[in-house]
Structure 1
Amino acid sequence: MRRIDHFNDPAAPRATSLKPAVSAVVLDAEGRLLLIRRTDNDRYAIPGGAQECGETVAQAVVREVEEETGVVVEVVSLVGIFSNPAHVVAFPDGEVRQEFSMCFRAVPTGGHPRGSSESKEVRWVAPEDLRSLDIHPSIRLRIERGLADPTSPYFT
């Protein structure tokens, strides 16, 4: 069984947990977006994951991006805070987590793209090519906000 994202689904299970998570809109010098293809749901996404005890959100972003993509980044600004209770994720162990993700903009500073246990593909994608990819609506919103006005953080 894999994780199942429920978004605006009246039949979705009720959330049983809420955990701080981070994600990153990483753009290279050519304006391409760093994407992973997730191993758990086969969709494209921006890198991210849960914040761990003892680290700041910026440290969590750097760690998660490098773990999932091999790319080292520097966090440069906040995209927004995404906490829509209509987005829950059901995990194989029975946990149902309400979305709570802090999304940041970041720039690559080193490393080399490579897959991981969480990402079967890592690629740089031009913004105009995003429409053809299978991306969950909640991730598309983060991408849209990350590519938009960097002076006004988004929040739900």
Structure 2
Amino acid sequence: MSRTDFFEDPTAPKANSIVVAVSALVRDGQGQILMIRRTDNDKYSIPGGGMEIGETPTQAVIREVEEETGIRVTVTGLVGVFSNPDHVIAYDDGEVRQEFSICFTADPTGGEPRTSSESKVVEWIAPDDLAAHDIHPSIKLRIDTALAGRAEPYYT
């Protein structure tokens, strides 16, 4: 299913749903960030996705990272809660979702990078090289917030 992100766009459709999602900033021993290139919008992103019934947020992010990248992780911290009514995601089935994501930090514990139905590229990217990649502003905010090393979690 394809998606279109609308960010601070007055012509965006109105949200008709909100779903709890999770994401993770995963860094390797050299400080590189685990990134995917999404199949649904062709943008680079940190891995993540929707929570399923019966999961905790940390269980969901561990599952999502491994599903999308092949990398197993352990959660190490909370970056923040990101929900912006001016960021909606329109899917081709008619759903228009307001962004709501709990973002964590995580360390890799095993696995090998591989693509999935949601990721056409999986790679470790140095923070200084992020500007060369097409990253949605909402994901860039999560990355920048995590790299800033705030003492308290971010929230809107």
TM more than 0.5: yes
Q: Which residue of 1 aligns with 2:115?
A: 115
Q: Which residue of 2 aligns with 1:66?
A: 66
Q: Which residue of 1 aligns with 2:22?
A: 22
Partner amino acid, structure 1, of 2:83: S
Look up the SS of the partner of 2:61 in the other structure: helix
Q: Which residue of 2 aligns with 1:88?
A: 88
Per-residue CA shift, 1:61-91, capped at 9, x if unaligned? 0000000000000001000000110000000
Tell me the matched-pair count.
156
Partner amino acid, structure 2, of 1:25: L
Q: How does the TM-score come out when normalised to structure 2?
A: 0.98
Q: Which residue of 1 aligns with 2:151?
A: 151
Look up the SS of the partner of 1:59 in the other structure: helix
Contact 1:35–1:46 (CA under 8 A) maintained in structure 2: yes
Q: How does the TM-score come out when normalised to structure 1?
A: 0.98
Distance 2:139 2:36 in 1: 12
| Runs of at least 5 residues in structure 1 that lack an aligned partner in the other structure | none
Look up the SS of the partner of 1:121 in the other structure: strand
| Runs of at least 5 residues in structure 2 that lack an aligned partner in the other structure | none
Look up the SS of the partner of 2:85 in the other structure: coil
Q: Which residue of 2 aligns with 1:142?
A: 142
CA RMSD of the aligned region, Å?
0.8
Distance 1:3 1:138 in 2: 15
Counterpart check, 1:40 vs 2:40:
yes
Distance 2:97 2:50 in 1: 11
Off by >6 Å, runs of 4+ in structure 1: none
Q: Report the Cα offset of residue 149 of structure 1.
A: 1.5
